Homo-oligomer: A and B are copies of this chain.
Amino acid sequence: MPLPSRVTDLTSFDLLLSVAELGSIGRAAKAHGISQPAASARLRQLERQVGVPLLERATRGARLTTAGELVAGWAQPVVERAADLEAGIAALRADRHTHLRIAASLTVAEYLLPRWLIALRAADPDTVTALSSGNSHEVAEQVLAGDVDLGFVEGPELPPGLRAADVATDELVLVVAPGHRWASRRRRPRAAELAGTPLVSREPGSGTRQAWEWALLACGETELAAPLLEVSSTTAIKAAAIGGIAPAVLSAHAVVPELDAGTLVRVPVPDLDLRRRLRAVWPSGQTLRGPAADLLTIALRSRTEG
């Protein structure tokens, strides 16, 4: 189900937020680098699309109406997450000549790194960061080879020659469609049944898949059923699980919205320990300095907060 066109263009909503902050359409226009008539037209069109007046235009400026306040409140989280997206893209795009090179496993890169990068930009405004992503093994390799200044890995393995610091913990969760038999409280599976059930999962190299298999092995389950379906993206896995194809195992971060909405149900598996540490790593001999040290500090600070 695609997003309705009413909300696909964030420019107008961003402009509305600027009007709320600055108190006039003209100042908001200037802040966005467009002319006042252009801003006025955009806001008028936004009001037409919403169907109710959002601004009270006065001779001294413009103020939000009650409806405008509501729309601004709903729009703000959208632009905040868009800022996260932008920070991530900027790091992906950053060409070779950057001040800080980092590598991160998928989980860290997806759910934690954008916020850290925004905080880093506040601390070191001129720092350009380049991000490369891969599985934990690849990240460790890049740190050891000196290709990056700082790495973020998941899982227990840690090659010699690296120092590490915990920055977060991640938890895998088993999810099924609401109609699945495991969704019922009395039908919860034990380790043996889990091992014997084909799942929808990532390709073999995936850290998530490895962690799942190791957790089962730790329970003494040596015979693991082959996956029913192997797909490349988290989105596709969720779609397959929602469609009732098979149960799936994903990072808890990834399924928050689906659990909220009830389109997926979490199945507790007390037999298995599915938690894993997310750690920053850097070469043993080396003391971090400059932006790399700042980023590590930011990551450690966010740990104590969360």
Chain A residues within 8 Å of B, Cβ to Cβ: 1-11, 13-15, 17-18, 20-23, 31-33, 49-52, 63-64, 66-86, 88-89, 92-93, 106, 109-111, 114-115, 118-119, 122, 133-134, 231-236, 238-239, 254, 257, 260-262, 305
Complex: chain B residue closest to A233, CB-CB = B20
| Structural contact, B88 and A71, CB atoms closer than 8 A | yes
| Of B8, B92, B260, the contact of A11 (CB 8 Å cutoff) | B8
Q: Give the complex CA separation of A66 and B14 in angstroms.
A: 30
| Structural contact, B234 and A83, CB atoms closer than 8 A | no
Which of A7, A50, A257 gathers most chain B CB within 10 Å?
A7
Complex: chain B residue closest to A78, CB-CB = B81
Contacts of A235 in B (CB 8 A): 17, 20-21, 72, 76
Q: Give the complex CA separation of A6 and B68 in angstroms.
A: 25
| Structural contact, B10 and A3, CB atoms closer than 8 A | yes
| Of B52, B64, B68, B74, the contact of A110 (CB 8 Å cutoff) | B74
Distance (whole angstroms) from the CB of A55 to the closest CB of chain B: 10
Complex: chain B residue closest to A77, CB-CB = B81
Contacts of A118 in B (CB 8 A): 261
Contacts of A106 in B (CB 8 A): 66, 69-70, 73
Distance (whole angstroms) from the CB of A51 to the closest CB of chain B: 4
Contacts of A68 in B (CB 8 A): 233
Contacts of A22 in B (CB 8 A): 239
Q: Give the complex CA separation of A1 and B31 in angstroms.
A: 7
| Structural contact, B83 and A81, CB atoms closer than 8 A | no
Q: Give the complex CA separation of A152 and B77 in angstroms.
A: 22
Contacts of A13 in B (CB 8 A): 85
